[in-house]
Homo-oligomer: A and B are copies of this chain.
Amino acid sequence: MDEAVADALCKTLPAQTMGIADLGCSSGPNTLMVVSEMVSKIYDACSQMGISLPELRVSLNDLPGNDFNYIFMSLPEFYCNLEKETGVGLDGCFISGVAGSFYGRLFPRNSLHLVYSSSSLHWLSQVPPGLCTKAGKHLNKGKIYISKTSPPSVVKAYLSQFQKDFFAFLRSRAAEMVAGGRMLLSFMGRSSPDAAAEVGTHQWELLAQALMSMALEGLIQEEKIDSFNAPYYAPSAEEVANIVEEEGSFIINHLQGFEIDWDEGSTSSDNDKDDNVVNGLENLSRGGQVAKTVRAVVETMLESQFGRDMMDELFRRYAELVDRYFSKTRAKHINLVLSVSRNTINSCY
Protein backbone atom coordinates (compact mmCIF):
# COMPACT_ATOMS: atom_id res chain seq x y z
CA MET A 1 0.00 0.00 0.00
CA ASP A 2 2.68 2.51 1.05
CA GLU A 3 4.71 1.90 -2.10
CA ALA A 4 1.62 2.13 -4.30
CA VAL A 5 0.65 5.43 -2.68
CA ALA A 6 4.10 6.94 -3.20
CA ASP A 7 4.15 5.69 -6.79
CA ALA A 8 0.67 7.03 -7.56
CA LEU A 9 1.60 10.35 -5.92
CA CYS A 10 4.48 10.86 -8.36
CA LYS A 11 2.00 10.60 -11.22
CA THR A 12 0.08 13.62 -9.87
CA LEU A 13 3.06 15.93 -10.39
CA PRO A 14 3.05 18.69 -11.47
CA ALA A 15 -0.79 18.89 -11.69
CA GLN A 16 -1.11 18.36 -7.92
CA THR A 17 -4.54 16.81 -8.02
CA MET A 18 -4.96 13.15 -7.17
CA GLY A 19 -7.96 10.99 -8.12
CA ILE A 20 -8.66 8.11 -5.74
CA ALA A 21 -11.49 5.58 -5.95
CA ASP A 22 -12.73 2.94 -3.53
CA LEU A 23 -14.76 0.46 -5.61
CA GLY A 24 -17.37 -1.49 -3.68
CA CYS A 25 -17.00 0.83 -0.68
CA SER A 26 -20.08 -0.57 1.10
CA SER A 27 -21.66 1.49 3.88
CA GLY A 28 -20.65 1.54 7.53
CA PRO A 29 -18.05 2.96 9.87
CA ASN A 30 -15.30 1.20 7.88
CA THR A 31 -16.10 3.06 4.66
CA LEU A 32 -14.70 6.40 5.79
CA MET A 33 -12.03 4.72 7.91
CA VAL A 34 -10.48 3.41 4.68
CA VAL A 35 -10.50 6.97 3.28
CA SER A 36 -8.96 8.25 6.47
CA GLU A 37 -6.14 5.68 6.27
CA MET A 38 -5.48 6.47 2.62
CA VAL A 39 -5.30 10.21 3.31
CA SER A 40 -2.90 9.54 6.20
CA LYS A 41 -0.66 7.42 4.00
CA ILE A 42 -0.67 10.08 1.28
CA TYR A 43 0.08 12.71 3.90
CA ASP A 44 3.04 10.67 5.21
CA ALA A 45 4.35 9.96 1.70
CA CYS A 46 4.20 13.68 0.83
CA SER A 47 6.11 14.56 4.00
CA GLN A 48 8.80 12.00 3.16
CA MET A 49 9.03 13.18 -0.44
CA GLY A 50 9.06 16.80 0.64
CA ILE A 51 6.14 17.77 -1.61
CA SER A 52 2.94 19.53 -0.70
CA LEU A 53 -0.24 17.50 -0.43
CA PRO A 54 -2.17 17.42 -3.72
CA GLU A 55 -5.89 18.19 -3.81
CA LEU A 56 -7.48 14.80 -3.20
CA ARG A 57 -10.58 13.77 -5.15
CA VAL A 58 -11.93 10.68 -3.39
CA SER A 59 -14.77 8.77 -5.07
CA LEU A 60 -16.70 6.20 -3.08
CA ASN A 61 -18.39 3.70 -5.37
CA ASP A 62 -20.90 0.95 -4.85
CA LEU A 63 -24.11 -0.27 -6.50
CA PRO A 64 -27.12 2.10 -6.53
CA GLY A 65 -28.75 0.11 -3.69
CA ASN A 66 -25.88 0.91 -1.29
CA ASP A 67 -26.71 3.17 1.67
CA PHE A 68 -24.83 6.29 0.60
CA ASN A 69 -26.96 8.42 2.94
CA TYR A 70 -25.24 6.81 5.94
CA ILE A 71 -21.81 7.66 4.52
CA PHE A 72 -22.78 11.26 3.71
CA MET A 73 -24.31 11.80 7.16
CA SER A 74 -20.97 10.74 8.68
CA LEU A 75 -18.98 13.25 6.62
CA PRO A 76 -19.15 16.28 8.96
CA GLU A 77 -17.59 14.25 11.80
CA PHE A 78 -15.10 12.67 9.38
CA TYR A 79 -13.89 16.07 8.16
CA CYS A 80 -13.64 17.31 11.71
CA ASN A 81 -11.37 14.37 12.68
CA LEU A 82 -9.36 14.55 9.44
CA GLU A 83 -8.59 18.19 10.04
CA LYS A 84 -7.49 17.47 13.60
CA GLU A 85 -5.24 14.58 12.55
CA THR A 86 -3.72 15.81 9.29
CA GLY A 87 -4.68 19.45 8.89
CA VAL A 88 -6.46 18.47 5.65
CA GLY A 89 -9.88 20.13 5.53
CA LEU A 90 -12.84 20.72 3.25
CA ASP A 91 -10.59 22.46 0.72
CA GLY A 92 -8.07 19.60 0.53
CA CYS A 93 -10.11 16.41 0.26
CA PHE A 94 -13.21 16.25 -1.93
CA ILE A 95 -15.34 13.18 -1.33
CA SER A 96 -18.11 12.13 -3.70
CA GLY A 97 -20.42 9.15 -4.04
CA VAL A 98 -20.64 7.32 -7.36
CA ALA A 99 -23.40 4.74 -7.76
CA GLY A 100 -22.99 2.09 -10.43
CA SER A 101 -21.41 -1.23 -11.36
CA PHE A 102 -17.61 -1.30 -11.50
CA TYR A 103 -17.91 -3.73 -14.40
CA GLY A 104 -18.69 -0.69 -16.53
CA ARG A 105 -17.37 2.89 -16.77
CA LEU A 106 -17.77 5.02 -13.65
CA PHE A 107 -15.28 7.89 -14.03
CA PRO A 108 -13.99 10.25 -16.73
CA ARG A 109 -10.91 9.34 -18.76
CA ASN A 110 -7.48 9.71 -17.18
CA SER A 111 -8.92 10.90 -13.92
CA LEU A 112 -7.71 8.30 -11.39
CA HIS A 113 -4.28 7.84 -9.84
CA LEU A 114 -5.08 5.28 -7.17
CA VAL A 115 -7.83 2.65 -7.27
CA TYR A 116 -8.66 0.42 -4.35
CA SER A 117 -11.16 -2.40 -3.95
CA SER A 118 -11.56 -4.79 -1.04
CA SER A 119 -13.86 -7.82 -0.77
CA SER A 120 -15.91 -7.01 -3.84
CA LEU A 121 -14.46 -8.51 -7.02
CA HIS A 122 -15.48 -12.07 -6.14
CA TRP A 123 -19.07 -10.92 -6.80
CA LEU A 124 -19.95 -11.49 -10.44
CA SER A 125 -22.05 -9.04 -12.45
CA GLN A 126 -24.70 -11.76 -12.78
CA VAL A 127 -25.33 -15.46 -12.18
CA PRO A 128 -23.46 -17.19 -15.04
CA PRO A 129 -25.79 -18.01 -17.92
CA GLY A 130 -25.78 -21.66 -19.05
CA LEU A 131 -26.43 -23.25 -15.64
CA CYS A 132 -29.78 -24.39 -16.96
CA THR A 133 -30.28 -26.25 -20.28
CA LYS A 134 -32.63 -24.98 -22.97
CA ALA A 135 -35.01 -27.72 -21.93
CA GLY A 136 -35.06 -26.17 -18.43
CA LYS A 137 -32.87 -28.79 -16.72
CA HIS A 138 -30.79 -27.38 -13.84
CA LEU A 139 -27.16 -28.47 -14.13
CA ASN A 140 -26.08 -27.72 -10.54
CA LYS A 141 -28.71 -29.70 -8.66
CA GLY A 142 -28.73 -29.44 -4.88
CA LYS A 143 -25.85 -26.93 -4.91
CA ILE A 144 -25.63 -23.14 -4.98
CA TYR A 145 -22.00 -22.73 -6.10
CA ILE A 146 -19.31 -24.90 -7.71
CA SER A 147 -19.13 -28.17 -5.79
CA LYS A 148 -17.31 -31.49 -6.13
CA THR A 149 -20.50 -32.93 -7.64
CA SER A 150 -20.94 -30.07 -10.16
CA PRO A 151 -20.54 -31.14 -13.81
CA PRO A 152 -17.62 -29.54 -15.74
CA SER A 153 -20.06 -27.32 -17.66
CA VAL A 154 -20.94 -25.57 -14.38
CA VAL A 155 -17.27 -24.90 -13.58
CA LYS A 156 -16.77 -23.65 -17.13
CA ALA A 157 -19.79 -21.34 -16.96
CA TYR A 158 -18.53 -19.80 -13.70
CA LEU A 159 -14.97 -19.29 -14.95
CA SER A 160 -16.24 -17.84 -18.20
CA GLN A 161 -18.43 -15.28 -16.37
CA PHE A 162 -15.50 -14.29 -14.12
CA GLN A 163 -13.21 -13.88 -17.13
CA LYS A 164 -15.75 -11.68 -18.88
CA ASP A 165 -16.41 -9.58 -15.77
CA PHE A 166 -12.78 -9.14 -14.69
CA PHE A 167 -11.79 -8.25 -18.25
CA ALA A 168 -14.55 -5.62 -18.36
CA PHE A 169 -13.40 -4.33 -14.97
CA LEU A 170 -9.82 -3.91 -16.16
CA ARG A 171 -10.85 -2.36 -19.49
CA SER A 172 -13.04 0.23 -17.73
CA ARG A 173 -10.30 1.12 -15.23
CA ALA A 174 -7.75 1.29 -18.06
CA ALA A 175 -9.78 4.13 -19.58
CA GLU A 176 -10.14 5.92 -16.26
CA MET A 177 -6.60 5.67 -14.89
CA VAL A 178 -3.60 7.81 -15.76
CA ALA A 179 -0.50 6.08 -17.14
CA GLY A 180 1.45 4.77 -14.15
CA GLY A 181 -1.62 4.90 -11.89
CA ARG A 182 -1.82 2.14 -9.29
CA MET A 183 -4.60 -0.29 -8.42
CA LEU A 184 -4.80 -2.43 -5.28
CA LEU A 185 -7.38 -5.20 -5.27
CA SER A 186 -8.15 -7.84 -2.68
CA PHE A 187 -10.87 -10.44 -3.02
CA MET A 188 -11.69 -14.09 -2.32
CA GLY A 189 -9.72 -16.63 -4.32
CA ARG A 190 -8.36 -20.13 -4.07
CA SER A 191 -4.93 -21.75 -3.91
CA SER A 192 -5.77 -24.90 -5.88
CA PRO A 193 -6.06 -25.00 -9.68
CA ASP A 194 -9.24 -27.06 -9.06
CA ALA A 195 -12.25 -24.71 -8.86
CA ALA A 196 -14.12 -27.30 -6.81
CA ALA A 197 -11.39 -27.55 -4.14
CA GLU A 198 -12.66 -27.30 -0.58
CA VAL A 199 -10.97 -23.98 0.20
CA GLY A 200 -12.97 -21.44 -1.80
CA THR A 201 -16.21 -23.44 -2.04
CA HIS A 202 -16.91 -24.86 1.39
CA GLN A 203 -18.87 -21.94 2.84
CA TRP A 204 -21.34 -22.32 -0.04
CA GLU A 205 -21.26 -26.11 0.35
CA LEU A 206 -22.40 -25.84 3.97
CA LEU A 207 -25.06 -23.28 3.05
CA ALA A 208 -26.36 -25.71 0.38
CA GLN A 209 -26.39 -28.48 3.01
CA ALA A 210 -28.45 -26.30 5.34
CA LEU A 211 -30.88 -25.51 2.52
CA MET A 212 -31.14 -29.17 1.49
CA SER A 213 -31.85 -30.24 5.07
CA MET A 214 -34.76 -27.79 5.06
CA ALA A 215 -35.93 -29.13 1.68
CA LEU A 216 -35.91 -32.66 3.12
CA GLU A 217 -38.30 -31.46 5.82
CA GLY A 218 -40.52 -29.77 3.23
CA LEU A 219 -39.69 -26.25 4.47
CA ILE A 220 -38.17 -25.26 1.12
CA GLN A 221 -38.85 -26.58 -2.39
CA GLU A 222 -35.84 -28.51 -3.69
CA GLU A 223 -36.42 -27.03 -7.15
CA LYS A 224 -35.70 -23.59 -5.68
CA ILE A 225 -32.27 -24.79 -4.57
CA ASP A 226 -31.59 -26.42 -7.96
CA SER A 227 -32.41 -23.17 -9.75
CA PHE A 228 -30.40 -20.91 -7.42
CA ASN A 229 -26.72 -20.22 -8.01
CA ALA A 230 -24.61 -17.59 -6.30
CA PRO A 231 -23.15 -14.78 -8.46
CA TYR A 232 -19.72 -15.41 -6.94
CA TYR A 233 -16.39 -16.79 -8.10
CA ALA A 234 -13.16 -17.42 -6.20
CA PRO A 235 -10.45 -17.47 -8.89
CA SER A 236 -6.92 -18.84 -8.66
CA ALA A 237 -3.99 -16.41 -8.93
CA GLU A 238 -3.18 -17.96 -12.32
CA GLU A 239 -6.68 -17.29 -13.68
CA VAL A 240 -6.39 -13.67 -12.51
CA ALA A 241 -2.91 -13.25 -14.01
CA ASN A 242 -4.09 -14.64 -17.35
CA ILE A 243 -6.91 -12.10 -17.63
CA VAL A 244 -4.63 -9.19 -16.67
CA GLU A 245 -2.20 -10.32 -19.37
CA GLU A 246 -4.91 -10.83 -21.98
CA GLU A 247 -6.47 -7.42 -21.33
CA GLY A 248 -3.07 -5.82 -21.67
CA SER A 249 -3.41 -2.43 -19.95
CA PHE A 250 -1.82 -3.30 -16.62
CA ILE A 251 1.49 -4.63 -15.33
CA ILE A 252 1.32 -6.92 -12.30
CA ASN A 253 3.51 -5.68 -9.45
CA HIS A 254 2.35 -8.23 -6.96
CA LEU A 255 -0.11 -11.11 -6.85
CA GLN A 256 -0.39 -13.36 -3.84
CA GLY A 257 -2.89 -15.49 -1.95
CA PHE A 258 -3.12 -15.19 1.83
CA GLU A 259 -4.75 -17.76 4.06
CA ILE A 260 -7.26 -16.29 6.47
CA ASP A 261 -9.44 -18.08 9.00
CA TRP A 262 -13.17 -18.03 8.32
CA ASP A 263 -13.78 -16.27 11.57
CA GLU A 264 -10.86 -13.87 11.41
CA GLY A 265 -12.15 -10.51 12.52
CA SER A 266 -15.20 -12.02 14.18
CA THR A 267 -13.68 -14.35 16.80
CA SER A 268 -13.78 -13.54 20.47
CA SER A 269 -10.08 -13.00 20.91
CA ASP A 270 -9.22 -10.32 23.46
CA ASN A 271 -8.37 -7.84 20.74
CA ASP A 272 -11.70 -8.21 19.05
CA LYS A 273 -13.88 -8.27 22.13
CA ASP A 274 -14.97 -4.67 21.87
CA ASP A 275 -15.81 -5.05 18.19
CA ASN A 276 -17.86 -8.13 18.94
CA VAL A 277 -19.86 -6.36 21.60
CA VAL A 278 -20.63 -3.62 19.08
CA ASN A 279 -21.59 -6.16 16.41
CA GLY A 280 -23.64 -8.30 18.80
CA LEU A 281 -21.34 -11.30 18.28
CA GLU A 282 -20.05 -11.66 21.85
CA ASN A 283 -22.33 -14.48 23.01
CA LEU A 284 -22.20 -16.60 19.86
CA SER A 285 -20.28 -19.81 19.11
CA ARG A 286 -17.61 -19.53 16.39
CA GLY A 287 -20.09 -21.03 13.92
CA GLY A 288 -22.74 -18.58 15.08
CA GLN A 289 -20.37 -15.68 14.51
CA VAL A 290 -19.50 -16.85 11.01
CA ALA A 291 -23.19 -17.41 10.23
CA LYS A 292 -24.03 -13.88 11.40
CA THR A 293 -21.27 -12.35 9.29
CA VAL A 294 -22.18 -14.41 6.19
CA ARG A 295 -25.88 -13.63 6.71
CA ALA A 296 -25.21 -9.88 6.60
CA VAL A 297 -23.69 -10.32 3.14
CA VAL A 298 -25.90 -12.92 1.43
CA GLU A 299 -29.29 -12.64 3.12
CA THR A 300 -30.83 -10.28 0.56
CA MET A 301 -30.19 -12.60 -2.38
CA LEU A 302 -31.29 -15.70 -0.46
CA GLU A 303 -34.51 -14.24 0.91
CA SER A 304 -35.75 -13.24 -2.52
CA GLN A 305 -35.35 -16.89 -3.60
CA PHE A 306 -36.36 -18.80 -0.46
CA GLY A 307 -38.57 -16.37 1.44
CA ARG A 308 -37.80 -14.00 4.28
CA ASP A 309 -39.40 -16.25 6.92
CA MET A 310 -36.91 -19.05 6.17
CA MET A 311 -33.83 -16.99 7.01
CA ASP A 312 -33.68 -17.45 10.82
CA GLU A 313 -33.96 -21.23 10.52
CA LEU A 314 -31.52 -21.38 7.60
CA PHE A 315 -28.79 -19.51 9.42
CA ARG A 316 -29.44 -21.45 12.66
CA ARG A 317 -28.74 -24.68 10.76
CA TYR A 318 -25.82 -23.08 8.95
CA ALA A 319 -24.24 -22.02 12.26
CA GLU A 320 -24.48 -25.63 13.50
CA LEU A 321 -22.85 -26.97 10.34
CA VAL A 322 -20.05 -24.39 10.59
CA ASP A 323 -19.47 -25.29 14.26
CA ARG A 324 -19.21 -28.97 13.29
CA TYR A 325 -16.81 -28.07 10.46
CA PHE A 326 -14.64 -26.02 12.84
CA SER A 327 -14.41 -29.03 15.17
CA LYS A 328 -12.84 -31.09 12.36
CA THR A 329 -10.64 -28.65 10.49
CA ARG A 330 -9.02 -25.24 10.46
CA ALA A 331 -11.51 -23.55 8.15
CA LYS A 332 -9.76 -21.04 5.95
CA HIS A 333 -10.25 -18.78 2.94
CA ILE A 334 -7.73 -17.57 0.43
CA ASN A 335 -7.59 -13.80 0.07
CA LEU A 336 -6.00 -12.81 -3.23
CA VAL A 337 -4.12 -9.53 -3.21
CA LEU A 338 -3.31 -7.99 -6.58
CA SER A 339 -1.32 -4.84 -7.15
CA VAL A 340 -1.04 -3.52 -10.72
CA SER A 341 0.17 -0.39 -12.53
CA ARG A 342 -1.51 1.14 -15.55
CA ASN A 343 1.07 0.69 -18.30
CA THR A 344 2.07 3.50 -20.61
CA ILE A 345 1.45 1.65 -23.87
CA ASN A 346 -2.21 1.12 -24.90
CA SER A 347 -3.29 4.26 -23.06
CA CYS A 348 -6.01 4.80 -25.62
CA TYR A 349 -9.00 2.98 -24.10
Contacts and interface: CB of A to CB of B under 8 A. Distances in A.
Contacts of A91: 104-105, 175
Copies in the complex: 2
Contacts of A99: 72, 75, 95, 97
Contacts of A98: 94-97
A76 interface: yes
A55 B111 CA distance: 12
A23 to B, nearest CB: 14
Interface string A153-194: 000000000000000000000010000000000000000000
Interface residues of A, number: 30
Contacts of A104: 90-91
Interface string A45-68: 000000000010101000011111
A31 to B, nearest CB: 13
Interface in A103-120: 104-109
A75 B97 contact: no
Contacts of A72: 64, 66, 68, 97, 99
A69 B68 CA distance: 6
Contacts of A108: 17, 55, 57, 94
Contacts of A297: none
A97 B94 contact: no
A59 B89 CA distance: 20
A165 B97 CA distance: 26
B107 A94 contact: yes
A68 B91 CA distance: 22
A345 interface: no
A278 interface: no
A100 interface: yes
A64 B69 CA distance: 7
Given A55-B108, A68-B69, 10 more contacts: A17-B109, A65-B73, A68-B68, A72-B99, A90-B100, A90-B105, A91-B175, A94-B106, A94-B108, A97-B99
The 4 residue pairs across chains A and B that have the minimum distance between CB atoms: A72-B99, A96-B96, A97-B97, A91-B105
Interface of A: 17, 55, 57, 59, 64-69, 72-73, 75-76, 90-91, 94-100, 104-109, 175
